[in-house]
A and B are shown apart, each in its own frame.
Chain A
Amino acid sequence: MSAVTVSGLVKAFGAVRAVDDVSFELPSGAVLGLLGPSGCGKTTLLRCIAGLETPDDGTIAIGQATVFAERGRVLVPPERRELGMMFQSYAIWPHMTVAENVAFGLKVRGWNAAKTARRIEEALDLVRLPGYGRRYPGELSGGQMQRVVLARCLAYHPALLLLDEPLANLDAHLREEMRAELRRIQRETGTTMVAVTHDQAEALALSDLILVMEAGRVRQAADPRALHARPASPEIARFLGAVNRLDGAARAGGLVALAGGGVVGIDHAQPAGSPVVLYLRPGDLRLGAANGDANGPLARVDSVEFLGEALRYRVLVGDRVLVVDQPLGGPEYDLGADVRIAVDGSAASCFAA
């Protein structure tokens, strides 16, 4: 059974179509990641599902219930859609205690005091904040607030949980911790989720299905592994971190002759003789001695940064810049040194030029 079904959804602001003919179906208990650069329409799509924006066309169904259809002739207001939503700004009510925040949705639903109290305790246990009920939000850290929001959303067992950049306001190490927590809680409760993010690592880690959006349209829908291995377009490949572009020509046997010299084998063959472009992540390239036997083109070291676990080189192939992350312990090169690039062809995304 699908938990969310969206078809042909359109939402325009003036002349800009922020959501442009979007369709997808999400099975119950799964997590959908909406991934894309800022302004791609992912947040608008989320707010349309929530009912905070009214779409212009298309249909939205949550569970069995159609909540939007026929250009607004069917329009269920957000308060009756049985949703939970985590806002980027947390949106914890500062004048209520943690318990009152969590209880709000229960009170609206007319739960009695004993049942409410029990449920507050369960929800706070679930997010690992037992005993925090009497505190005010002002006394909590960012990570704790995030947990309170989660407890507030999940207290009334919503059919669907929407997350708007859920981890964007956290420090790097907290972000990873909360990401794992979100996954754990999702598994334990079996809640269906739709999460908006601009961070590919977050999307890959959280989601069962990812929609990559650009300019209001869905450019690719895939599970995380497939998306990582086979981005559907050069734009998506770049967005997913494959910032290095190498031009070449396809040869028979899954080989590509690179423009700056060298031949690499790739996983997905293209018709022999056709011009192609390869996209690679910084970690899929290595630097070797200029006179060595690496399979890629010659390059010159333009800059180098120390990243901690690796050295990040920017090298010039002709006038094109490539970014190479060289693990520590390998050979190191000075500025201006000539090097030869080793290309991990199996990691490359290959497109017809």
Chain B
Amino acid sequence: MTALRRFPFALWLAFALAAAGVAILNLLPIAWLGIGSLKQAGGTLGFGRYVELFERFSFAGVLVNSWIYALGTTLLSLVLGVALAVLVARTDLPGKALVRFTALFAFVSPPWLTAMAYVFLASPNAGYLNLALEALIGVKPLNIHSMAGMIYVSSLFLYAYVFLTVEAALAGLDGAYEEAARVTGASSFTVIRRVTLPLVAPSLIAASIFSLIISWGLFATPAILGMPARLYVFATQLYLFLNGFPPRYEVAAAMGVLFCLVAFLLGGLLWLTRRRRDAARFAVIGGKGRRPSLLPLGRARPLAAAFAVLVSILAVILPYAIILWMSLNTAWFGGASLKDLSFGNFSYVLTEYRDIWRIVGNTLGIAGMEAGMVLLLAFAVAYLARRTALPGRTVLSGAAYLTVLVPGTAFVIGVIWAWIKSPMGLYGGLLLIAMAQAARSLPLALRNIGDGLGQVDRSLEEAAVICGAGRFTRIRAVLLPLLRPVLLGAFALVFLSGLRDLNTPLFLGGGSADTLTLAVVIFNFWSESRMGESAALTILLLGLTLAVFLPLHLFVRVRQ
């Protein structure tokens, strides 16, 4: 009773609404994933589907493949991402802007784009690189439809995540630690190895574990590269279960639960390392705002620069160039040449293909609804958790973060289970797709907004209280204006990831024409081997992305 009396009704109402939002978006699908997996043939509950998974569907093989794929991708992403982050944040590497831009671009561009581009480049028979190598050395050595190919292409996307996480941690590092090591006579390499990297160990661990979890959920790359070679991992096997006849929702749910368990295990590991390490040992964010002096690379500088440029070329420049080339090419790939260039693909998809504008509308609508929901909910949860003493606020923010630990494709299975019989007819509609995507991007937005809120000194709001402003005025007149860049940044991030999401609309759309998005159509074209149309739509999506991204980017820049 005392707690009830201590907080005004409006605050409780906000808490109840936020809690309901998190429960509907996050908890309901996760709970239903568990329930669905226990539904056996004949309507009884039990672990029959799990047994079936191993006995009838040779699940052990998929399990081994998934581990190899996830570990390989994580490892390569870490090597690339950490190396580039250290080079950019702590050394005198030339061309840092290119590396940053590449990473940001790789992070917001659709992962299937890189996969498609590498099919053009390195498919065993007709890939351009293979053809070029055959002319040179007489053999075609590359095969992108392999485990190595999948790991390579996925890393070109995931390294960007590692880079962005670790670079942010490194940029906040007090340079005095490194300067002290250099003054005692350590070489740049020794400083990085013995001082810099150990100091950011927490963010390295977090980046590795989240990379692992993200790899478990990746769908587009293994679908485009692995499925033609009958190489199945977790997400693609799920896709088969859902698209087979009859669809096996229960087995899919059982599989989803198994993978959630893996992710929860990894998350628990992260939590343990966070708790056990003495926080003071990593208290390295300097308050002085002084720019640290950069470590000189010396004779390794050209080599490092070449490495950075090579990653940019392989991850972004080459794939986009190839997709652009293919979008302008109407001939079958292998035989493409300059004289075949035309806007035929574009004119087909824009004028002849059914409903293209409706599909664009769907895509923008889903991303818009998603970003709206996420922004509202993330701000509410972050505010309640950081600016009130309401009991239950920690549980609320924990529940909002929970989807981080559920691989993307597994979560979608839970969404299907939760809503397939919904009385409101949500299933098969745009809103449900937006809700599922919102649940996925809630943690990222929550972290950004929560960090932003943490940086707003409390006395700024207290000063407003003293001046006589109520809570609502404080939020409207002080907090929201101060957080504007953070909120816009979060909006852009969520909206852009919403535009390119493939798994969710593909799995939830149920093949209906009413819910097609650009990503799904691109994937469908690809599945039908209509590469040119697929590439042209990808370019269109890229145009949409830039049309949103650039003005926002400029606006935030100018504001700051």
Q: Taking beta carbons and an 8 Å cutoff, which residues of A are in contact with B? A: 50-52, 72, 77-85, 87-89, 91-95, 104-105, 108-109, 152-153, 156, 162
Contact = CB atoms under 8 A, between A and B. Distances in A.
Given A95-B481, A95-B482, A108 B467 contact: yes
29 contacts: A51-B465, A52-B462, A52-B465, A78-B462, A78-B465, A78-B466, A79-B465, A79-B467, A79-B468, A79-B470, A80-B468, A82-B468, A83-B466, A84-B466, A84-B467, A85-B463, A91-B459, A91-B462, A93-B464, A104-B467, A104-B477, A105-B467, A105-B468, A108-B468, A109-B468, A152-B467, A153-B466, A156-B468, A162-B466
B457 interface: yes
A50 to B, nearest CB: 6
B457 A50 contact: no
Nearest to B473: A108
A106 B464 CA distance: 11
A87 B473 contact: no
B478 interface: yes
B462 A87 contact: yes
B310 interface: no
Given A94-B482, A95-B481, A104-B477, A87 B469 contact: no
A77 to B, nearest CB: 8
Given A91-B463, A156-B467, 15 more contacts: A50-B462, A51-B465, A72-B6, A79-B468, A79-B469, A87-B459, A89-B459, A91-B459, A91-B460, A93-B463, A93-B482, A95-B482, A104-B477, A108-B473, A162-B466
A113 B477 CA distance: 18
Nearest to B471: A79
Please indicate which of the listed interface residues B468, B470, B477, B481 has the most CB atoms of chain A within 10 Å of its own CB: B468
Contacts of A108: 467-469, 473
A92 B457 CA distance: 10
Nearest to A94: B482
B470 to A, nearest CB: 6
Interface size class of B (residues with CB under 8 A): 10 to 19
A55 B341 CA distance: 77
Contacts of B459: 87-89, 91
A89 B457 contact: yes
B478 A93 contact: yes
B469 A50 contact: no
Nearest to B465: A78
Contacts of A77: 465
Contacts of A50: 462, 466
A104 B466 CA distance: 11
Contacts of B460: 91, 93
Contacts of A153: 466
A87 B468 contact: no
A152 to B, nearest CB: 7
Contacts of B481: 95
Interface string B429-470: 000000000000000000000000000010110111111111
Shortest Cβ-Cβ A-B pairs, 10 listed: A105-B467, A91-B459, A91-B463, A87-B459, A85-B466, A108-B468, A78-B465, A95-B481, A79-B468, A108-B469
Contacts of B465: 51-52, 77-79
A44 B277 CA distance: 32
Contacts of A84: 466-467
B468 A85 contact: no
A276 to B, nearest CB: 46
Interface string B539-558: 00000000000000000000
Please indicate which of the listed interface residues B462, B466, B469 has the most CB atoms of chain A within 10 Å of its own CB: B466
Contacts of B457: 89, 91
Nearest to B466: A85
B462 A104 contact: no
A162 B462 CA distance: 12
A88 B459 CA distance: 9
Nearest to B5: A72
A210 B465 CA distance: 27
B20 to A, nearest CB: 27
A63 B462 CA distance: 22
B111 to A, nearest CB: 38
A94 B559 CA distance: 13
Contacts of B464: 93, 104
A153 B466 CA distance: 9
A85 B459 CA distance: 10
Interface in B34-85: none
Contacts of B477: 104
Contacts of A162: 466
Contacts of A94: 482
B517 to A, nearest CB: 37
B8 to A, nearest CB: 9
B466 to A, nearest CB: 4
A212 B107 CA distance: 59
Contacts of B470: 79
Contacts of A85: 462-463, 466
Nearest to B469: A108
B187 to A, nearest CB: 41
A52 B389 CA distance: 13
Please indicate which of the listed interface residues A87, A156, A162 has the most CB atoms of chain B within 10 Å of its own CB: A87
A50 B463 CA distance: 10
A93 B461 CA distance: 9
A62 to B, nearest CB: 12
Contacts of A87: 459, 462-463
A78 B464 CA distance: 10
A104 B482 contact: no
Nearest to A164: B459
A52 B462 CA distance: 7
Interface string B92-120: 00000000000000000000000000000
Nearest to A54: B6
Nearest to A50: B466
Interface in B470-488: 470, 473, 477-478, 481-482
